[in-house]
Structure 1
Amino acid sequence: MLQRTLKQAISATGVGLHSGERVKLTLHPAAPDTGIVFRRTDLPAQDEVAVRPALVNDTRLSSTLVTETGVRVGTIEHLMSAFAGLGIDNVIVDVTGAEMPIMDGSSAPFIFLLQTAGIEEQPAAKKFIRVRQTIEVIEGDKWVKLVPHDGFSVQLSIEFNHPAFNRAPQMVSVDFASHSYIEEISRARTFGFMHEVEYMRSHGLGRGGNLNNAIVIDDEYVLNPEGLRFPDEFVRHKILDAIGDLYIVGHPLIAAFSGHKSGHAMNNKLLRVMLETPGAWEFVTFDNPEDAPGSFHPLPEVA
């Protein structure tokens, strides 16, 4: 099974969910073993930030990379989720600000962008991380876990005592050997409560949020005129986020991921614990694509 990059560069412009600033995003093809690298083109040095779990140093409502010199690249989880969903290993991401554009609040616009650029295989083996022993992080009634599994699956549950959530399923299980990321996960949007807006904006967050890029909930109802895209869109978006957070490790995981009331901070902590645990994981490659777990066979074909 081979690594993947883009056939050509492609750009999009949007607004940062938390900063409210207009930013331009340009995705470039990259050589094998480059990984995902962000480049702040608005800074004089055009600082490069290679994605790795140790750089996720701000998890307030998103996953944000912060380098030792203070360079920030924020809200990367939806774009990272799209990279994971299409099996893209190597890309240079130029951005003209400190935050990715939120687009419609899901990863579907990024999927469209990547498919429009085109995807090509490269003459280098795709490297997977196979989880060899159970890794778990528990904080009160919240927990996340990685378990050895011959494939990739996600099971998440959320818990909100709120009428809008009580009317919807709060647990979803997806095994990607038989389910499509694009069809079942990519369109699920981020969500937030009206009563949180004042708090977020007082902390410099949520300035770009609106009904066009998030599900907004008042004391009882979803305020978006079109309603939900899935009956369980809330928890499906949590799965979208988790897939993006986990892909910050730089390679597809061969494992079963599960969690309850998890978020960006716990997802990142789980990766760090895994990497620091001797014998918990190993790199694997597959010379014959058919030998790879079934979860990775449905990756969209390279045109």
Structure 2
Amino acid sequence: MLRRYFCALYIFCLHYLSEAFVLTSAMYQYKKTIRHAISDQGIAIHSGFSSTLKLFPASSGMGICFRQSSDGVLYSIHPRYIEIENFHTVLRFSSTFCVKTVEHVLAACCGLGVTDIIIEASEEEFPFFDGSALHFVHMLQRAGLREFHEESEYIVLKAPVHVSEGDSYITLTPDIPYIQVSVPLTDQYREEANFSFLNDDFYYNIAPARTFSRFSDLEYLRSKGLIQGGGLECAVVLNEDGTAINPEGFRLPQECARHKILDILGDLMILGVPCIASIHSHAPGHSRTLKAVHCIAKDADIYCRMQYSDLKKYIERKSEKPILKYAS
């Protein structure tokens, strides 16, 4: 009887949390910002320095902006600022101002539908927190979300984009928004995961997924000046067989593949708004996704911008099954 009671209580709590916090779709009708400024401090994974992240409300139409704390200059996010890196996302706005490891906070903005916000950090590299987007999601929720009257905008592909590097690739095609990834963890084992903008829950399915690395790669990464602030508290470290060294194990099934979806969502937000496409990637990485962002941004013929109401009609048309006609 007691066990049955606790099971019922657990289900009730899950339902309450889903109603209160969880967002069932990564597509939102109206633009959003935060209600109040908020800040938090953490360790930057590569430099090992302490870094303070500050988030500020923005007016409708400002978009996602980064601010240099020393002079207060605002820079709107744009693909022209991308520096291609293998292990993290870097935006260089000027000779004296760049930001690093921004992919997780951008994924959180995408997942919660935040379209207008000012982001500032005390150091070039953002705090890494637990290696997922969950801490950033909680920051945005604590700051409170405020909707504007203007509809959200989306980039919708009109032609496919494909980027490959060796055996790794990412392909974006015009279709219903969906991401599918395949991530080789060992020679014999790989993880696969997918995410639907329309049906899956970013909060539960993607946001908690942590970054990962093989134990055998750690020495090489440190020799390159990377992961100086890394540890088991902010990443999943893998054995040679693909199992987790971390005492708590994995948070989610296919956590590594889900984290790659998180990275893709964050990197694509450098376009300024979410990108609507069917996305397939094998062995995904920042450099491939960022090159795809460049390809999209430089060719206005392969995409268009749509407001939510038009996008909804577009997806409804894409979702309709073709009716087969037979000759009489």
Whether the TM-score (by the shorter chain) exceeds 0.5 is yes
Check conservation: 1:40, 1:97, Cα contact below 8 A: no
Structure 1 pair 58/46, CA: closer, same or farther in 2 (3 Å)? farther
Q: 2:109 aligns with which of 73, 76, 83?
A: 83
- What amino acid is aligned across from residue 260 of structure 2 in structure 1? K
* 1:26-45 equivalences in 2 (<5 Å): 26-41=54-69, 44-45=70-71
- What amino acid is aligned across from residue 292 of structure 2 in structure 1? L
- Structure 1 residue 172 corresponds to structure 2 residue 193: yes
* 1:253-272 equivalences in 2 (<5 Å): 253-272=275-294
Q: Name the structure 2 match of 1:159.
A: 184
Runs of 4+ more than 4 Å apart: 287-294
- What amino acid is aligned across from residue 232 of structure 1 in structure 2? Q
Provide TM-score, normalisation by structure 2: 0.82
Q: 1:193 aligns with which of 214, 220, 240?
A: 214
Give 5+ residue unaligned stretches, structure 2: 1-28, 317-328
Check conservation: 2:180, 2:192, Cα contact below 8 A: yes
- Per the TM alignment, residue 235 of structure 1 is displaced from its structure 2 partner at its CA by 0.6
Q: Name the structure 1 match of 2:31.
A: 3
Deviations 1:246-291 (A, max 9, x none): 1111112221111111211110111111222342100111358965
- Per the TM alignment, residue 125 of structure 1 is displaced from its structure 2 partner at its CA by 2.7
* 1:131-146 equivalences in 2 (<5 Å): 131-146=157-172
* 1:54-73 equivalences in 2 (<5 Å): 54-73=80-99
Structure 1 pair 276/194, CA: closer, same or farther in 2 (3 Å)? same
- Per the TM alignment, residue 130 of structure 1 is displaced from its structure 2 partner at its CA by 1.1
- Structure 1 residue 108 corresponds to structure 2 residue 134: yes
Q: 2:237 aligns with which of 200, 207, 216?
A: 216
- Structure 1 residue 284 corresponds to structure 2 residue 306: yes
Structure 1 pair 162/141, CA: closer, same or farther in 2 (3 Å)? closer
Provide TM-score, normalisation by structure 1: 0.89
Q: Name the structure 1 match of 2:254.
A: 232
| More helix per residue | 2
Check conservation: 2:86, 2:285, Cα contact below 8 A: no
* Identity %, equivalent residues: 31
Higher mean Cα deviation, 133-142 or 239-248? Answer: 133-142
Q: Name the structure 2 match of 1:298.
A: none
Deviations 1:138-190 (A, max 9, x none): 2222211111123x210111123257xx2xx5111221211111110111000
RMSD across aligned positions (CA): 2.0
CA–CA distance in structure 1, aligned partners of residues 147 and 315 of structure 2: 18
Check conservation: 1:58, 1:66, Cα contact below 8 A: no
- What amino acid is aligned across from residue 149 of structure 1 in structure 2? D
